[in-house]
Amino acid sequence: MAHTPTSDGRAPWRALVLTLFPDMFPGPLATSLVGTALTAGLWSLDMQQIRDFGIGRHRAVDDTPAGGGAGMVMRADVLGAAIDHARRTAPDLPLIYLSPRGEPLRQPLVRELSAGPGAMLLAGRFEGVDERVLFGRGAREVSIGDYVLSGGEIAAMVLIDACVRLLPGVLGAADSLAHESFEGEQLEYPQYTKPREWEGLAIPDVLLSGDHKKIAAWREAEAQRITADRRPDLAMAAKGPNKGR
């Protein structure tokens, strides 16, 4: 796929997914603002079929686990060849393996990846991949949560969506990003819109007061309350080791 430079001359942010199921893409990434940005060329999406590098007449990509056990493991030689081929077309993309044992996908990591040239995403299947290919090709393992999926494709979509929405021109209003959950040290404050009253529940009076100082103070207090209630780990981290004593 040709990758047309953006209006400021930069190459568009690129997602290159190594997968056994390329037909899963673009899927939800073709809709809404992220899909519009894809059509507009603000980012690009390519898939590489891992089975093209499979072994033998049946293009085998997996085998039984060394040492015994249930399931199958994706072969290092197959994945190594697929990664090497992908790197010839995208040598600057960091290799990421979507794995429940990886580092958590948090907003600082999203910002880091979004600021770079893109990402090469390895979507595993079965019981996982041979450890040697992760070491040999310098893969960074990333997890989207403490649960197990059928494969890495959906996790790759999550990572891509999180990164693309931060690209210049995708969301439009840069200020809207600054007040989102995880952009600071706490969760976002509650949001309201019309109608003024719904099923006996009214918009808090302070938000209709026109007093921007009071509104800002209310939002900050609500963000702190929600963070302390729902994510005490974030609240403690915001205090720091020498605070709150």
Beta strand pairing status for 118-122 and 95-104? parallel
Q: Rounded to the nearest 10 degrees, how much is the dihedral formed by the CA atoms of 232, 234, 235, 240? A: 130
For helices 153-164 and 32-40, what crossing angle results, to 10°? 80
pLDDT at 209: 97
Looking at the structure of the chain, the number of domains it has is: 2
Q: What angle do CA 79, 88, 125 make, to 5 degrees?
A: 20
CA proximity to 117, closest of 43, 40, 208: 43
CA proximity to 11, closest of 35, 45, 41: 41
| 138 in the same domain as 81 | yes
CATH number at residue 98: 3.40.1280.10
| 158 in the same domain as 76 | yes
**Domain end (from 164, 198, 213):** 164
**Domain end (from 138, 164, 190):** 164
Contact 142, 105 (CB under 8 A): yes
| 147 in the same domain as 39 | yes
pLDDT digits (tens, 9 = 90+) for 138-171: 999 999 999 999 999 999 999 999 999 999 999 9
Measure the CA–CA gap between 47 and 27, rounded to whole angstroms. 12
In a domain, 173, yes or no: no
Q: Which domain holds residue 48?
A: 13-164
**Domain end (from 141, 164, 187):** 164
pLDDT at 179: 55
Measure the CA–CA gap between 40 and 209, rounded to whole angstroms. 40
| 150 in the same domain as 37 | yes
CA atoms within 13 A of residue 235's CA, in its CB half-sphere: 14
pTM (predicted TM-score): 0.88
| 221 in the same domain as 126 | no
| 149 in the same domain as 193 | no
pLDDT lower than 70: segments of the chain: 1-9, 173-184, 241-245
Contact 55, 63 (CB under 8 A): no
pLDDT at 245: 39
| 192 in the same domain as 156 | no
pLDDT at 180: 56
β-sheet bridge partners, residue 119: 15
